[in-house]
């Protein structure tokens, strides 16, 4: 427990995060970095960038509600402190991705309408499954749903987005790099804290596995809808990224500059599900395949 206490202490968070990889950043990127003109002047790409950033805001608002909601449900002080740091991380993620929407031209007065109109309905359903557990004060299910399922998904989505934006949009890639480092810490907490609780409460397994199955179903539906919308924008983004020197961008063996949207969806889903299986196994749960997938 002492390693656990220091690894997830506020002191450690201060040193590694605000005084570490975030030092000197402005909304997660270097001061002065901006969205590239080739994106801002291209209507197809701009639409797509706004759409995908809305999904990030929706996911991060859910993470903020979940991590803050779980503080009072946590059975020990070390977990409460960690979740307090996570709450601030998630609030920062909400802020930086919202700031990106403004950088892409979304006015403050339009923000909530834009989010409501463009939120992927499957992602909204995914969030509802998790927040129902949080609202009930169910710490074990809430941490599995948030720190393993939601954040395992976010981690891979951010990594894929970072790899495809590195050449064309360093500002966004840098913003993502800080969130990836944060998510890695959050996922680590989930694994370390929850394994022992599940061993103490084996009777909870079936219900938690059902939640994972429901969340996985909505996640795969989210990916499926995201990659069948705006297919023109993917090709356009690949063309500009290749021009900017990103022709070799690879992620898990897939060339992001030439992959079709279907191939990108497949590599993303495959990567996330493999991660789920490994992490669930480490905490003593068995991955459940959603129906029809």
Q: Which residues bind Fe ion (CB under 5 A)?
A: 60, 63, 90, 93, 151, 183, 186
C-alpha closest to that of 215 among 265, 264, 142: 142
Nearer to Fe ion by C-beta: 62 or 168? 62
CB of 186 to Fe ion, least distance (A): 4
CB of 163 to Fe ion, least distance (A): 18
Structure tokens at 173: 């890639």
CB of 85 to Fe ion, least distance (A): 11
Nearer to Fe ion by C-beta: 179 or 216? 179
CB of 162 to Fe ion, least distance (A): 14
The CA distance from 1 to 3, in Å, is 5
Q: Cα-atom radius of gyration of the chain, to the nearest Å?
A: 19
DSSP secondary structure string, 173-228? HHHHHHHHHHHHHHHHHHHHHHHHHHHH-GGGHHHHHHHHHHHHHHHHHHHHHHHH
Give, for 250, the enclosing helix (H) or strand (E): strand 250-251
Nearer to Fe ion by C-beta: 93 or 133? 93
C-alpha closest to that of 28 among 170, 167, 152, 155: 170
Nearer to Fe ion by C-beta: 174 or 254? 174
CB of 181 to Fe ion, least distance (A): 11
Nearer to Fe ion by C-beta: 100 or 233? 100
CB of 60 to Fe ion, least distance (A): 5
End-to-end CA distance of the chain: 39
Structure tokens at 278: 């490994």
Nearer to Fe ion by C-beta: 147 or 230? 147
C-alpha closest to that of 71 among 7, 134, 5: 134
């Amino acid at each position: 427990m002492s390693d656990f206490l220091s690894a997830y202490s506020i002191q450690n968070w201060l040193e590694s995060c605000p005084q570490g990889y975030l030092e000197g950043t402005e909304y997660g990127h270097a001061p002065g970095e901006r969205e590239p003109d080739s994106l801002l002047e291209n209507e197809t790409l701009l639409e797509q960038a706004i759409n995908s950033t809305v999904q990030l805001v929706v996911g991060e608002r859910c993470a903020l509600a979940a991590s803050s909601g779980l503080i009072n449900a946590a059975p020990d002080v070390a977990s409460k402190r960690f979740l307090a740091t996570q709450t601030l991380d998630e609030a920062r993620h909400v802020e930086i991705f919202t700031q990106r929407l403004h950088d892409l031209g979304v006015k403050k007065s339009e923000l909530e309408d834009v989010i409501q109109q463009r939120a992927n309905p499957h992602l909204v359903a995914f969030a509802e499954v998790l927040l129902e557990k949080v609202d009930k004060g169910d710490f074990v299910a809430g941490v599995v749903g948030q720190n393993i399922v939601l954040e395992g998904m976010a981690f891979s989505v951010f990594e894929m987005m970072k790899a495809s934006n590195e050449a064309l949009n360093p500002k966004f890639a840098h913003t993502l790099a800080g969130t990836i480092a944060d998510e890695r810490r959050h996922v680590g907490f989930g694994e370390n804290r929850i394994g022992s609780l599940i061993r103490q409460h084996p009777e909870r397994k079936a219900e938690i596995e059902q939640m994972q199955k429901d969340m996985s179903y909505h996640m795969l539906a989210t990916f499926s809808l995201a990659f069948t919308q705006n297919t023109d924008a993917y090709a356009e983004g690949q063309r500009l990224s290749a021009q900017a020197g990103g022709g070799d961008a690879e992620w898990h063996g897939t060339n992001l500059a030439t992959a079709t949207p279907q191939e990108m969806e497949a590599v993303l889903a495959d990567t996330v599900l493999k991660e789920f299986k490994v992490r669930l196994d480490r905490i003593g749960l068995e991955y459940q395949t959603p129906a029809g997938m």
